[in-house]
Amino acid sequence: MAVVGGGSWGTTVAHLVSHNALTKLWCRDSEVAASINQYHKNLRYLPDFNLANNLRASVDLEEVLHDADIALVAIPSQSFREVLCQMKPYLQDGTPILSLAKGLEQGSTFTMTQVVNEELPENPTGVLSGPNLAQEVLQGFATASVLAMANESDSEQIHKVFLTENFRVYTSTDVKGCELGGAFKNVLALAAGMTTGLGTGDNTIAAVITRGLAELTRLGEAMGARRETFSGLAGLGDLIATSFSAKSRNRFVGEQLGKGRLLDEVISHMDNVAEGVMTAPVVSQLAKEYKVETPITDQVSAVVNGSISASDAYELLMLRDQGSET
């Protein structure tokens, strides 16, 4: 088993699957790899948590991918293609490649499985997604996720490698819906954070999340995803966790923007990536292409692009015409 990406989520998944299979983790940072091998801790991203003793880390992609029967890729969406191309020489045709990322590629607007299909068409692909905050998984709290692959028999076989006493995995064939749900919810988590930073109440946050989910469900359907997926773990479930948890990077960034801080200043002090920042403009672009109205997403995109403040975006949304909820 190979896991590519030594950030907080890649490390957490590597720890999980190492309970069921011999696992190697690829890290960009040699110090991170050394801390995992020597101390069984990721001292940069997850310093307070012990990792499985049998988990091994390396900065050598060939070493990590050699003879791997499954490759799990936990690379941020804007670097995903670059690292995937580096993996190519070491992957056998037919090796499943599962995305652990939750974003959309700028420019192409591709999901990560679409990137895999373009770069490695001979390799089956899928996505693991859901309300999975890394720290809570490592604390052993009950967690559920969805493994989506086009071939149901593939997902039914592969999902077993993730199962532990406290980590449950359901299967789905709606790959696009699970990927879009994971990407879209980061945008709404930014919106939820902004409303908190502006000092609004729970009523406001609930309205933003509910109306935001409705607009993104419409967009997902227009793109060929199933409506029910957005009500499941990869949609609403992930949205709840990311919008309300103090551990959520996207919520944190949104909250700081709501308080008037500059985006560059906020992210310059973060080790981990807040995917919603890069994803929001892509979602707005897709909404225009599919002719779906996404007013909340559009305002979030305008804020992260620096063309409007969070307070002005809030005022513009409040000025919108009211009509039927459905």
Distance between start and end Cα atoms, the chain: 46
Q: For Cα atoms 263, 251, 49, give the angle at the middle one, nearest 5 degrees.
A: 110
Q: Which residues are tagged catalytic? A: 185
Question: Which residues on neighbouring strands pair with residue 168, listed in sequence order?
Answer: 144
The count of C-alpha atoms lying within 13 angstroms of the C-alpha of 302, restricted to the half-sphere facing its C-beta, is: 16
**Gap between the Cα atoms of 299 and 303, Å rounded:** 6
Distances (CA, A) of 59 to 130, 175, 272, 324: 28, 30, 19, 55
**Gap between the Cα atoms of 120 and 114, Å rounded:** 10
**210 φ, ψ to 5°?**
-65, -50
The amino acid sitting at 137 is: V
What does the DSSP 8-state code read for residue 90? G
**Gap between the Cα atoms of 151 and 170, Å rounded:** 14
**242 φ, ψ to 5°?**
-75, -30
Displacement of CA 233 from its chain's centroid (Å): 13
SS3 content of the chain, % helix, strand, coil (to 5): 55, 10, 35
Is residue 204 classed exposed, middle or buried when 0-12, 13-18 and 19+ CB atoms within 10 A define those classes? middle
DSSP secondary structure string, 58-69? ES-HHHHHTT-S
Whether 21 and 13 have beta carbons less than 8 Å apart is answered as no
Displacement of CA 281 from its chain's centroid (Å): 16
